[in-house]
Amino acid sequence: MVATAIAFVVGAAGLAAWGLQLHSGMGVTGLQRPVFWGIYIVDFVFWIGISHAGTLISAILRLTGASWRKPVTRAAEAITVFALMIGGMFPIIHLGRAWRFYWLLPYPNSRLLWPNFRSPLLWDLTAIVTYVTGSVIYLYLPLIPDVAQLGEHNTPWRQKLYRLLSLGWTGSDREWHALERAMKLMACIILAVAVSVHTVVAWDFAMAIAPMWHSTIFGPYFVTGAIFSGIAALVLVMAILRQVLHLQVYLTKHHFDRLAKLLLLMSLLWCYFTLAENLTVWYGNDPKEMAVFGARTRAHYAPYFWSMMFLNFVVPFVLLGIRRLRTIATAAVASVAVLIGMWLERFIIVVPTLANPRLPAPSGFYTPTWVEAAITAATFAAMAMLYMIFAKLFPIIAVWEFKPHPQEED
Amino acid sequence: MEHRWGMAIDLDRCTGCEACVVACHAENNLPVSTPDQAARGRTAHWIRIDRYFEGEFPDIKVRYMPVLCQQCDEAPCEPVCPTYATYHNPEGLNVQVYNRCVGTFYCANNCPYTVRYFNWFAPEWPEPLALQHNPDVAVRPAGVMEKCSFCIQRVKRAKQDAAAEQRALADGEVQPACVQSCPAGAMVFGDLNDPASRVSRLANEGRATRLLEELGTRPKVFYLQKG
């Protein structure tokens, strides 16, 4: 009850802040010349990163036939869908004229203009729309047998909803075969789409010629970071679900142990990429890039950079690397650290580069205002809200995967 | 293409007086920032004077450099705009179509010269400046990007006048506001397609360099200074 009320108030405050921004102009944010991209873009990359929790993890585990995945997949796939819905809002919130966002869509219009497909923003739009569509299908397919069962005995309106969603599922052999094939196919497709989406998000930066953005490493670096933060989000959500919905029997220490090891692996991989990115710049010693490097590691943004290193590397390495310390509680703590650390990582990528442009005269600093903070907070509230509604309406663990179904009986 | 507009700026003549900045404001209906907004980096000057300091105080020398849109032939701002709000016109100008702009800020991020300016709020002018708007230039709404246009309204006016009198444009007939107002005569505007024009001759003499030339943006603004 209290959680719902807080989520509602925070969400309403965020909407009010956005209303003010639409009414007054982008001047209510902390953006300024030369820092034209601020924490809206940070939030965008962060949420798209979180969305890699579900699809990627569940698809990899489904394809490799890891049987321990069963109680994890639905929770993960739901994170993907909601994180994408929220992440996809940010490019619109960030627009100077948000009410014109649909001008980026290709449709016959009075301006007689096709959108510019040379722009990475158009690639981004295409990739994200594809990813949302794919991950909704990917979440929905394994839901069908469950909603069919829920539709059998229930309150009238719920029965109606579930029957509608079950698409007339009867549970025949033919239907099970079709479902299995469809899920396998979607797992393959969604893997490719997920990798491409975060690569394209990285290219929004890498295609620009700004110092320390114009880098070939950004595609794989962003994908790694996305999976890293995605696993952290999944561990945290699972720990909360386990407590709130009393799922101790299903979500065991065993599951958290496996996911914690995966998180540790991604932490090491992320650290390797960060080293590769920064070491090459430092050794190359190009003055324009060194201005950004200096701002990141030694000057104005150093506290962000070193907190990021501590939260993303030291904390998971100690808590999850030492076997005696690796418990459900420490996995949740490490996940919170990684989520904060990965948000900072995106800040470190977006802001110092823009604050130190090639000509020295227009350089500047950026501090977000309360409007940006309120909208950011509201998206976390929205995530909690959407997830709660989903968990109320649908089983958060795939029920049919725990029951023998006809195929397994023969 | 019939014309290829370019500019030469003699840095050895520039005194940093900022007359060009003021003239540009008046000609192009640039909004006037409040001191508070200016302190937050929200000013809009399509041309600005960058200062470079040589030596240590008190033995110091200041160099001035007027920086405006470089009207690049290979403009990094153009391909990144999703709505074609910034595009290359047939005379090689890098044009901003305010009505198409949705405000993604991408062009400004990809401009190595940081010469693009955003309308953070609806534009405002203290009295009586609101009474002296130029009717040939659109007033931009909140939420769109803008930048130097090489005074395209003056280019168009001069071409129309020449066409009405059935003659060719003369060299020096088109003058952007900044060029017209420069008391030191440091700025020259003209057609780079005409090898005899003043700007072409200055661009081809040994003193000419271009800003951040190494990026391959091929700017059409040439800076002149002794070797």
Q: Chain A to chain B, count of Cβ pairs less than 8 Å apart?
A: 134
Assigned domain for A102 exists: no
Query: Distance of CA B167 to CAs A124, B170, B191, B194, B200, Å?
Result: 50, 9, 16, 16, 21
Between CA A319 and CA A260 the distance in angstroms is 9
* Residues A221 and A273: beta-carbon distance below 8 Å: yes
**pLDDT above 60 (res B21):** yes
Q: Give the model's confidence band at A410: pLDDT under 50 very low, under 70 low, under 90 confident, else very high.
A: very low
Between CA A409 and CA A402 the distance in angstroms is 13
Reported pTM: 0.93
Q: Tell me the pLDDT of chain A averaged across its residues.
A: 89
Q: Chain B partners of A94 at a C-beta cutoff of 8 Å?
A: 104-105
Question: B209 pairs with which residues across the strands?
Answer: B223
Residue A409, Cα to own-chain centre: how many angstroms?
38
Question: B72 pairs with which residues across the strands?
Answer: none
Other Cβ atoms less than 10 A from the Cβ of A57: the count is 24
ipTM, two decimals: 0.91
> Inter-chain contact B81–A119, Cβ cutoff 8 Å?
yes
Other Cβ atoms less than 10 A from the Cβ of B209: the count is 12
What is the predicted pLDDT for the residue at A75? 87
Domain count for chain A, please give it: 1
What is the predicted pLDDT for the residue at B139? 94
Asked if B53 is an interface residue toward chain A (Cβ–Cβ < 8 A), one would say: no
Q: Any idea which architecture B5-224 has in CATH?
A: 2-Layer Sandwich (3.30)
**pLDDT above 60 (res A407):** no
Q: What percent of chain A has pLDDT over 70?
A: 98
Average pLDDT over residues A5-22: 92
Assigned domain for A343 exists: yes
Residues of chain A whose beta carbon is less than 8 angstroms from a beta carbon of chain B are 24-27, 31-34, 36-37, 91, 94-97, 100-101, 103-104, 111, 113, 115-116, 118-122, 125, 204, 207-210, 354, 357-362, 364
Q: For the segment A14-34, what is each residue's pLDDT rounded down to a tens digit?
A: 999 999 999 999 999 999 989
Q: What percent of chain A has pLDDT over 90?
A: 59
Assigned domain for A16 exists: no
Q: Give the model's confidence band at A404: pLDDT under 50 very low, under 70 low, under 90 confident, else very high.
A: low
CATH of the domain at A48: 1.20.1630
How many angstroms away from the CA of B150 is the closest CA of chain A? 21
- Mutual orientation of helices A120-140 and A73-87 as an angle, nearest 10°? 150
Helices (H), B54-164: 106-109, 152-164
Q: Chain A partners of B83 at a C-beta cutoff of 8 Å?
A: 103-104, 113, 115-116
Domain membership of residue A265 as a residue range: 36-90+115-367
How many angstroms away from the CA of A351 is the closest CA of chain B? 11
Those residues whose C-beta lies under 8 Å from the C-beta of residue A171, and which sit 6 or more positions away, are A145, A148, A405, A406
* Residues B164 and B180: beta-carbon distance below 8 Å: no
Average pLDDT over residues A143-149: 86
Q: For the segment A299-348, what is each residue's pLDDT rounded down to a tens digit?
A: 889 999 999 999 999 999 999 888 888 888 899 999 999 999 999 999 99
Q: Tell me the pLDDT of chain B averaged across its residues.
A: 93
> Inter-chain contact A359–B41, Cβ cutoff 8 Å?
no
How many angstroms away from the CA of B164 is the closest CA of chain A? 31
Q: Chain B partners of A104 at a C-beta cutoff of 8 Å?
A: 82-83, 102
How many angstroms away from the CA of B39 is the closest CA of chain A? 10
B215: nearest CA in chain A? A209
Supply angle C-alpha B222, B65, B109, rounded to 5. 80
CA trace torsion A326, A330, A333, A334 (10° rounding):
-10
Assigned domain for A378 exists: no
How many angstroms away from the CA of A343 is the closest CA of chain B? 21
Query: Distance of CA A210 to CAs A292, A353, A386, B82, Å?
Result: 10, 7, 37, 18
Between CA B220 and CA B216 the distance in angstroms is 12
Least confident of A65-74, A209-218, A386-395, B174-183: A65-74
* Residues B137 and B123: beta-carbon distance below 8 Å: no
What is the predicted pLDDT for the residue at A408? 45
* Residues A236 and A166: beta-carbon distance below 8 Å: no
Closest CA to A198 of A142, A131, A258, A111: A131
> Inter-chain contact A24–B121, Cβ cutoff 8 Å?
yes
**pLDDT above 60 (res A409):** no
**pLDDT above 90 (res A111):** no
User: Who has greater pLDDT, A163 or B137?
Assistant: B137
Between CA B162 and CA B215 the distance in angstroms is 37
> Inter-chain contact B142–A111, Cβ cutoff 8 Å?
no
